[in-house]
C-alpha cells in the first residue's frame, strides 16, 4: 500500500474517532446535567430554596406523628365521655328509682 493512502486512512479513522469522542462527551454532559437535576430533586437546592424529596418525606413523617397523637387524644376523650356518661346514667337511674318509691 501506498504511504499516502495509509496516511489518508489514518486521518479518516482519527476524524471518526474524534467525532465519536465528541458524541460521547456530549452524552456525558447531558447525563451529568440530568444527574444534577435528580440530586436537586432528592436532596434539594439551596439556590432555588427547594427542600427536595428527602425533606418532604421528613415533614410527612412529622405530620403523621402529630395526627396519630391527635387521634389518640380523641380516642381517650371519647372513652372518658362514654365512661362518665355511663356513671352519670347509672347514678341517675339509682336516684330515679329512689324517688319513685
Q: What is the pLDDT of residues 7-50, one digit of tens each?
A: 999 999 999 999 999 999 999 999 999 998 888 888 887 777 77
- What pLDDT, on the 0 to 100 scale, is given for residue 1? 61
State how far the Cα of 63 lies from the Cα of 96, in Å rounded to an integer.
Answer: 48
Task: Give pLDDT, residue 53.
Answer: 81
69 confidence band (pLDDT: 50, 70, 90): very high
State if pTM tops 0.85: no
Domain ranges of the chain: 1-49, 51-101
The confidence score (pLDDT) of residue 37 equals 87
Q: How many residues does the chain have?
A: 101
> Which pLDDT score is estimated for 19?
96
42-66 per-position pLDDT tens digit:
888 777 777 888 888 889 999 999 9
Q: Per-residue b/e over 59-93, b at no fewer than 16 CB within 10 Å?
A: eeeeeeeeeeeeeeeeeeeeeeeeeeeeeeeeeee
Residue 1 class from Cβ within 10 Å (0-12 exposed, 13-18 middle, 19+ buried)? Answer: exposed
Three cell numbers, residue 36: 444534577
Assign 45 to helix, strand or coil.
Answer: strand
Contact 63, 71 (CB under 8 A): no
Amino acid at each position: 500500500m501506498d504511504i499516502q493512502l495509509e496516511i489518508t486512512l489514518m486521518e479518516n479513522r482519527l476524524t471518526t474517532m474524534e467525532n465519536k469522542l465528541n458524541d460521547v462527551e456530549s452524552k456525558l454532559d447531558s447525563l451529568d446535567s440530568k444527574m444534577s437535576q435528580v440530586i436537586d430533586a432528592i436532596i434539594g437546592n439551596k439556590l432555588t430554596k427547594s427542600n427536595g424529596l428527602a425533606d418532604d418525606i421528613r415533614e410527612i413523617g412529622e405530620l403523621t406523628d402529630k395526627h396519630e397523637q391527635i387521634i389518640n387524644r380523641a380516642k381517650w376523650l371519647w372513652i372518658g365521655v362514654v365512661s362518665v356518661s355511663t356513671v352519670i346514667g347509672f347514678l341517675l337511674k339509682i336516684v330515679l328509682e329512689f324517688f319513685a318509691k
